[in-house]
Amino acid sequence: MPIDPRHVKVLEADDIIRQRANTQAWWKRLYLPAVVMGLGVTLRNMLGNLLRPGGLPTIRYPEERRDYGDRFRGRHYLKKRPSGEPRCVACMMCATACPADCIYIVAGEHPDPAIEKYPVRFDIDGLRCIMCGYCVDACPEDAIAMTREYEWASYEREDFIWDKEYLLNWRDEKIVPDGYQPYEGEIDKSRMSRGTL
C-alpha cells in the first residue's frame, strides 16, 4: 500500500533536538548545573594529577623505558658458531616463510662438507619487515632470533638494510636483551595440525 504523504510528518533536526531536550529534567535543560558538574570532574582529575604526578601513565622516555616482555619482536640478529661464522646454512626457509619478502640470501658452498652451505649475503630490509617472527620459527638451525631493540631511527633509508656483517655483529656495540627466540620445548603435534602453535 503506498504511503499517503499527508500522514507522514517529516521530523526536522530541530524537532528531534527539541523532543530529546524535553525529556530531560528542567535543571538539566538549564545546562549550567551540568557545566558546573563537568568543571568539577576536570578539576578533580587535574588536582589528583598535580598532587600525584607519579600516577600519570606518561613514561619519561628516554630516561625511563617501558619494560617489554621477553617475547618482544625487535630487530633480528644472526647467531654465530663457536668459530665466529654464522650458524645459517642458507637453506632459504626464512626467506620462504617471510610474508613481507624482506630477506635476501645468496648461498655459497662451504669448505666443510658437514655444513655444506653458508650465506654469502644475508640482507634484511628493516623497512619492509613486519616483525612477525616467522623467520625465527622457520629456521631449522636456530640461526636467526630477535632482540628487544626498537630504536632504529636514521636519516638514510640505506641504514635500514641490515647486511650479514651487521646482523652478526651489531649486538657487540649495543647491549640489548634477547627478544623472540626459537621455541625449545616439546612440540605438541596435535596442536600443530590445527596450526595454533
Partner 1 sequence: MDWTGVGISILKACLVFFGVVNTVPVLVWAERRGSAFIQHRLGPNRVNIAGFSLLGLVQPLADVVKFVWKEDYVPAHANRAFYVLAPILLLVPAAMTFAVVPFADDLLVGGRQITMQVADLNIGILYVFALASLSVYGIVLAGWASNNKYSLLGGIRSSAQMISYELALGLSVVGLLMIYGSAGLDEIVRGQGEHLFGIVPKWGVVTQPIAFVLFLAAVFAESNRLPFDLPEAENELVVGYHTEYSAMKFAIFFMAEYMAMVTGAMLIVTLFFGGWQIPWVESAELQAAVGPIPAALLQLGSFSAKLLFFLWLFIWVRWTLPRFRYDQLMHLGWKVILPLALANVFVTGLVLYFT
Question: Measured from the CB atom, is 57 or 69 closer to partner 1?
Answer: 57
> Alpha-carbon distance 27 to 118, whole Å?
79
- In the block, cell 632482540 appears at 147
Minimum CB separation of residue 53 from partner 1 in Å reads 8
Taking the complex as a whole, the smallest distance from the CB of residue 34 to partner 1 amounts, in Å, to 9
Of 3 and 51, the one with the shorter C-beta distance to partner 1 is 51
E strands, the chain, are 76-78, 103-109, 117-125, 144-146, 161-162
If the CB atoms of residues 44 and 71 are measured against partner 1, the closer one turns out to be: 44
**Contact criterion met (CB below 8 Å) for 168 and 80:** yes
Q: Work out how close the CB of 69 gets to partner 1 at its nearest, in angstroms, rounded to a whole number.
A: 24
Cite the DSSP H helix spans in 66-182: 93-97, 134-138, 164-173
Residues lying near partner 1 in the complex (CB under 8 A) = 14, 32, 35, 38-39, 41-43, 45-46, 49-50, 53, 56-58, 60
Query: From the CB of 41, what's the least distance to partner 1, in Å?
Result: 7
* CB 2, min distance to partner 1, A: 34
Residue 49 or 96: the one with the smaller Cβ distance to partner 1 is 49
Q: What pairing do the DSSP bridges indicate for beta strands 161-162 and 103-109? A: unpaired
Angle at 62 between CA 157 and CA 123, to 5 degrees: 30
How many C-beta neighbours within 10 Å does residue 111 have?
A: 6
Is the CB of 13 or the CB of 175 nearer to partner 1? 13
